[in-house]
Amino acid sequence: MRIAELSRRTGVPVPTIKYYLREGLLPAGELTSPNQARYGEVHLHRLRLVRALVEVGGLSIAAVRDVLGALDDPEKSLHKAMGTVERAVVGTGESPTDEVAHAEARAFVERQGWTYRPHSDAFQSLVNVIVTARELGHESFIAQLDGYARAARPLAEQDLDYALSAPTKDAAMEIVVLGTVLGDAAFAVVRRLARREASGLRQDRAQAEQDCDQAEQDCDRDEQDR
C-alpha cells in the first residue's frame, strides 16, 4: 500500500506520517522506484503503535523513539526492555536530594521486601512523590503507599503472566510495552470508575442517614451532560 492508504486506515494525516518517517518512528517503505515506496502491514501496525504511545500513553516523540528502539533490539531481554520503557514513561528525572523523603522511600521498599535500588528511575520518582506530599503537608499520604503496594503486587504478577503467555519474543516485548503504557492508562481509568462507584454508594448512604433528599437529586448531574 502507499502512504495515502496508510493514512486512510489509521486516520493519521499524510504529512504526519511523513514526519514520523523523518523522525525514525516508522521504517522507510520498500522503494519500488527512486520516488515511490510501498508499505506493508508492519508499517500499519507500527504506526498504530506510535499513535497509541503518543495519544494514550502521552509519550513524547523522543520517548517513542527510545521505546521502539528497545522493541527492535533483538539483544534485549524482556526484563531490560521493561526498564527502557519505564524510563521513557516517567517524566524529567530531577534529584531533590531530600534526606527524609529518601529515607522514607527506602523504608517503604524494604518494608515490602523489595530490593533497595536508589538510582533507579522508579525509586527516584517515588522520592519525588514523597517530597511533594511532604511539602504540601500531607505526611500521612506516605502511609497510603502500603495499600498501593498491596494492590500492585498481584497486578505485577498478572502483567508478567500475560507477557510470558505471548507466543514469540517479539510479541512478548510488545505486550510489555503496551502493558506498561496502556496498562497505566487502563488502571487509572478503572480506579476512577471504582472510586466513583464507591463515592456514590457512600454519598447515598450518608444521605439516607441524614434523610437529605435535596442533595440526592443532583448527585450525578455533572456527568450526564455532554
User: Which residues in this chain contact DNA in the complex, by CB under 7 A?
Assistant: 2-5, 13-16, 18-19, 21-22, 28-29, 31-39, 54, 60-62
Q: How far is the CB of 168 from its own copies (least distance, A)?
A: 13
User: Binding pattern to its own copies, positions 106-145, x when CB under 8 A?
Assistant: ---x--x-xx-x-xxxxx-xx-xx--xx-xxxx-xx--xx
Question: CA-CA distances (angstroms) from residue 93 to 90, 97, 126, 222?
Answer: 8, 12, 11, 37
Minimum CB distance to its own copies smaller for 34 or for 154? 154
**Quick one: what does residue 103 bind among its own copies, DNA, none, with the CB cut-off 5 to 8 Å set by partner type?**
none
Q: How far is the CB of 184 from its own copies (least distance, A)?
A: 5
Q: Is residue 1 part of the contact set for its own copies (CB under 8 A)?
A: no
Residue 218: other Cβ atoms inside 10 A = 8
Closest distance between its own copies and the C-beta of residue 1, in Å?
Answer: 16
Conformational region of residue 39, where left means phi above 0, alpha means psi within -120 to 50, and beta covers everything else: beta
# residues near its own copies by CB under 8 A: 91
The DSSP 8-state label assigned to residue 113 in this structure reads T
Which CB atom, from 21 or from 127, has the smaller least distance to its own copies?
127
CA 122 to CA 196: how far, in whole Å?
28
Which residue, 15 or 91, is less far from its own copies as judged by CB? Answer: 91
Q: Which of residues 174-213 bind its own copies (CB under 8 A)?
A: 174-175, 178-180, 182-200, 202-203
Place of cell 520498500: 30
Angle between helices 141-164 and 121-135 (to 10 degrees): 150
- Give yes or no for a contact between 85 and 177, defined as CB atoms under 8 angstroms apart: yes
How is residue 27 written as a grid cell? 521504517
